[in-house]
Structure 1
Amino acid sequence: MTLALLLMACVLTCAGQVAQKYAVESWRDVDLGVAHKLRSPWLWLALLCLGLGLLVWLLVLQRLEVGIAYPMLSLNFVLITLVARYLFKETIDLRHWCGVGLVIAGVVLLGQHA
């Protein structure tokens, strides 16, 4: 159950970051006022996902020590890298992929401790 909550917090946070990216991309090269930006559905989706992610994260912290739980959030680095590569078609260099591999190795090591 704790692992499922941790993964849910990661996915919600990642989804919030993606929605933020879509929000700011929709504002690019357009002179919009603040009021118009505040009506962006992507912005509200980002706030919803990040808010729900926070609530789920609080449940995770009730079940795991923060020293174990917090480093597990580095899975977001992996998820966002995959989203950047395959959804946003960004170039990811070899050094970045090596970092992703190290993050995954670290999460696996910490996961065995939990």
Structure 2
Amino acid sequence: MNILLIILASLFSCAGQLCQKQATTVSGGRRPLLLWLGGSVLLLGMAMLVWLRVLQTVPVGVAYPMLSLNFIFVTLAARWLWRETLSLRHALGVILIVAGVAIMGSYT
């Protein structure tokens, strides 16, 4: 259950960050910008609430490194949504993060 909550917190956080990125690309006035930023605040707030639940049951020294999942989710989403390039160095970094999360995840 703990790992699912950590993943959920990361997904909400990732979605909020993606909304921020999208806010930087919109045109057409203030309304679209405010909608994307409002979505970001809402999603990041939800991430915080889930994260607080995680911290009730998982030691912070174990839980916090798990937020590295954000790097993975944001990288994959940016590649898919905006066709951002993924260098070999970046890909290797993501692989190392996955390995670290897997090692840390064995604790929860």
TM-score if structure 1 supplies the norm length? 0.88
Match of 2:80 among 55, 71, 86: 86
Question: Which one has the largest radius of gyration?
Answer: 1
Measured in 1, the distance between the counterparts of 2:65 and 2:98 equals: 11
Name the residue aligned to 1:46.
40
Amino acid at match of 2:22: Y
What root-mean-square deviation, in Å, do the aligned CA atoms of Structure 1 and Structure 2 show? Answer: 1.7
Measured in 2, the distance between the counterparts of 1:47 and 1:88 equals: 21
Name the residue aligned to 2:9.
9
Quick one: percent identity of the two aligned structures?
46
Measured in 2, the distance between the counterparts of 1:19 and 1:39 equals: 10
CA positional deviation for 1:38: 8.9
- Residue 58 (structure 2) pairs with residue 64 (structure 1): yes
CA positional deviation for 1:80: 0.5
Q: Secondary structure at the match of 2:25?
A: helix
Q: Deviation per CA, 1:60-106, whole angstroms, max 9, x where unpaired?
A: 00010000000000000000110111111011100000000000000
CA positional deviation for 1:2: 1.3
* Consecutive aligned runs of 4 or more in structure 1 exceeding 6 Å deviation: none
Q: How many residues align?
A: 108
Name the residue aligned to 1:77.
71
CA positional deviation for 1:40: 1.7
TM-score if structure 2 supplies the norm length? 0.93
CA positional deviation for 1:25: 1.0
Measured in 2, the distance between the counterparts of 1:92 and 1:49 equals: 26
Checking the alignment, whether the CA contact within 8 Å between 2:23 and 2:33 is kept in structure 1 is: no
Gaps of 5+ in 2: none
Checking the alignment, whether the CA contact within 8 Å between 2:12 and 2:47 is kept in structure 1 is: yes
